[in-house]
Amino acid sequence: AQSVTQLDSQVPVFEEAPVELRCNYSSSVSVYLFWYVQYPNQGLQLLLKYLSGSTLVKGINGFEAEFNKSQTSFHLRKPSVHISDTAEYFCAVSVWSNYQLIWGAGTKLIIKP
Amino acid sequence: DVKVTQSSRYLVKRTGEKVFLECVQDMDHENMFWYRQDPGLGLRLIYFSYDVKMKEKGDIPEGYSVSREKKERFSLILESASTNQTSMYLCAASFTGSHTVSYEQYFGPGTRLTVT
């Protein structure tokens, strides 16, 4: 069965510092990978996705992620965070047998001034 | 852009009441999903539907039912609300084309339900 692990439930970081949010998945087949962001009291919106091709994927708001097949990881990075990046970030993996996504538990990004 | 709307942002109901949560999408997407979100547990799938009048149980269907009479509308029903159903409920939609499947899901703003 497929699963997604987000290794950190919270990541505190100073404003303008770089950040990496970690995501590992388990799957015996090829997958599509997603990162979503949820700002306080809002629904989720897509940050970026990996379907195929280049393993470095760029998304909105200056975020990028790298697909590493050998390590089954899809870590999210930003070189310099802003207070507006305060949110919860979710990693998700496609399920080939149906149209579902398998979700990680989420990582709260806390920006310290 | 796909727009997914949910009937209420905040809802307070009493134990034992029947509760309806409505979700409408405007992009003719085939697949629709209901999740509940609780701190530390991420998103858990309650039910999903891949066509009108079709529904599939997700991971936590107990205490819930759904209805999809029209393609654009997917309703979640709490038959008899209980305090352990206090949660954030999120609706999502995704597209299935004739030659491609887009697993990308588009979300509504969520309904925060409190059952007292």
Give the distance from residue B79's alpha carbon to the nearest chain A alpha carbon, in angstroms: 24
pLDDT at position A86 is 96
A108 membership: H or E segment, kind and range:
strand A107-112
pLDDT of amino acid A76: 98
Size of chain B, expressed as the number of residues it contains: 116
pLDDT for res B36: 96
State residue A94's pLDDT score: 86
- Which pLDDT tens digit goes with each residue over A44-85? 999 999 988 888 999 999 999 999 989 999 999 999 999 999
pLDDT at B82: 97
Q: Who has greater pLDDT, B38 or A98? A: B38
pLDDT of residue A113: 84
B21 close to A (CB below 8 A)? no
Cβ distance A99 to B50 under 8 Å? Answer: yes
Closest C-alpha to A30, from A102, A103, A100, A93: A93
CB distance B90–A43 less than 8 Å? Answer: yes
pLDDT by residue, tens only, chain B of 116 residues = 668 999 999 999 999 999 999 999 998 888 999 999 998 888 999 999 988 989 999 999 999 999 999 999 999 999 999 999 999 999 999 887 655 666 789 999 999 999 99
Question: What pLDDT is attached to residue A97?
Answer: 65
pLDDT computed for residue A42 by the predictor: 87
Instruction: Assign A2 a pLDDT band (cuts: 50, 70, 90).
Output: confident
Residues with Cβ within 8 Å of B68's Cβ and at least 6 positions away in sequence, in order, are B32, B49, B51, B52, B53, B54, B55, B74, B75
| DSSP H/E element including A64 | strand A64-68
Verify whether the Cβ–Cβ distance A49 to B104 is below 8 Å.
yes
Side-chain half-sphere exposure of A87, counting CA atoms within 13 A? 20
Using an 8 Å CB-CB cutoff, list chain A residues near B32: none
Give the closest-approach CA distance of B46 to chain A in angstroms: 12
Looking at residue B12, its pLDDT comes to 97
pLDDT band at A95 (very low <50, low <70, confident <90, very high): confident
The alpha carbon of residue B112 is apart from the nearest alpha carbon of chain A, in Å, by 9
Q: What is the dihedral of CA B28, A48, A102, B108, to 10 degrees?
A: -40
The residue of B9, B43, B50 whose CB has the most chain A CBs within 10 angstroms, and thus the best one to mutate to test that interface, is: B43
DSSP string, B54-77: --EE-S--TTEEEEEEETTEEEEE
CB atoms A99 and B90 under 8 Å: no
